[in-house]
Structure 1
């Protein structure tokens, strides 16, 4: 079967070689035994000669290619089997090759299956007519009631094996497609989280600098320093992410190898330096968090602050983190303007992944996330269970507006 790995394919070829050797040895040494088992009513007494040997080999050797060329193998074996029977040679183990060839056609033939079945049926009819004109003819009950169903049965067994193998291959292909889609979503989510946050802060700073010239050179210098530091941080995160993706020694991504996590204080300070009025409040006793859970918390805060910078620049934003015994809650609320008219969005601000990306991260740990307009502003609230079983990678990231 063409989808088999190379090592398994070579193993099965070796088995076919062993099969041919064993069958040939049996055919050359156990003729009398097989004649007794077959119970021929008309004794076949043609002596073994060179033609006998050639016909035995012609029935056994084609089994070497029964997987790669099943139809030609069946054709050669069928002709040799028919001549062997018509000429009246004593029954031998070589006749078993016909059943194996029929099974192989059912299991391994991919094209012209109906044509091959028709050719096999015609060949059998020709053999039946020829045998009816020899001294070795058998009763009709043996020819048609016993022999034909057995031949068909071996073909159908091969069909069943082929169908099961194709079903398994389709299942594996579907799993591979699902894994690829999940990994693509994970990569897109990581790139979105890393790039959007840093680039948004840089763009906001760059847009503000012209208004500070020429009367505030110190603030301009500070702004340029912030842009430089943010750019270096973005490059570091991207490099670590790409190292994970490009490492040829890893068969699967290691969930512990993720872009560097930053303390929430760093995220808040970066947003403040970009002009956002951010307040961070923590309640409860902090506890160490697993890598994945800590990253999910960081990404929720990071994305929420990024959205605030993009869609509500300059507005007061509060980040509240509550450490509970069983769960961790975070709330990021951006105040409204008091006006029903919404603040125009920046043209470059749409990414389409933010909220759904946060929701997927939180859901992967059995948590819940809500996000939406509130009192003219916007609020993001998430709850992360501390002991929930992680389901990271079990569902792909979505594509909703963020």
Structure 2
């Protein structure tokens, strides 16, 4: 089994200024390639600390990946530290230098002296092209050990990793890859999922690993195994047990799922949002090509707009309030008629942090008008204002999904 370790370098991360996400990308990809990830370290921009961490990693790992510290400033210490630590001879790569010079020339600015540092390359290192930045990735071999240096900027790291590092590792190690399958669920907790699926793991799938990733929007299950057939069989078994709660697989989002359903059925959609404040429309339009089925929406935040655009009756608001199943249904029906669409979808509720109409924070009504169908759901969500809005959108999209899938 090939062992990999990851070192993330960056004082800005440990200071809490920047969120670290490079390790997640690297871990997932290394697992897919079949590596065993022994350790992930996060350290400050400190030469002595980096040397110590690198030596410790090389003692047991076949591959050490270091992210960060390849830029031109004084706190970018990774490449310089490794050059000095291993007494590597260097040269200025003319292609990289020309790229930097042309950049500043186009800006009509003089190139800063420090910028040349990014073109300094250890001899015998494999240069990994960085098509969206200046600092290239580098592969340095020390006997049978491999050190891979990557930029700290996520998009640069991701591009170099996928274009250059993955093919290199596949060719160098020829490992048996891990196979992954992610099942995305909604409306069920991880504890409830475990109760439903634990029996099948007592009888079979002993070489399969199940990872749970719960959030306020649902639970993702990731199946991991070396045998692709066994992973697929495990997926089928779980599908049977959780069929009422599964909305998609792998990286597909709920808005992508409803987009496919609407396009397949040649249906159009409009939205009326109160408590979600446009977030529902934002999610729907985040999908490329959503103009094929999404006509438009209104943020009916005030009662005046609810009455003017959505045609919610004055007596409905007076008798039941804006946060009610009656208002949600009239909003859905009204926006459907206003835009002349096949479907109207609405949200109204209390996102918090204070109550409204003497109704509790987290209370949300979702309305759906589809043909002659009028459907309403009542939910009581927990969390912050943002979390409540996100949950309301997620469940509104899921209400639409269930309705479309059930005819």
Greater fraction of residues in strand: 2
For this structure pair, what is the TM-score category when the shorter chain's length is used for normalisation?
under 0.3
Instruction: Select the structure with the greater relative contact order (CA < 8 A; seq sep ≥ 6).
Output: 1
TM-score by length of 2: 0.24
Greater fraction of residues in helix: 1
TM-score by length of 1: 0.24
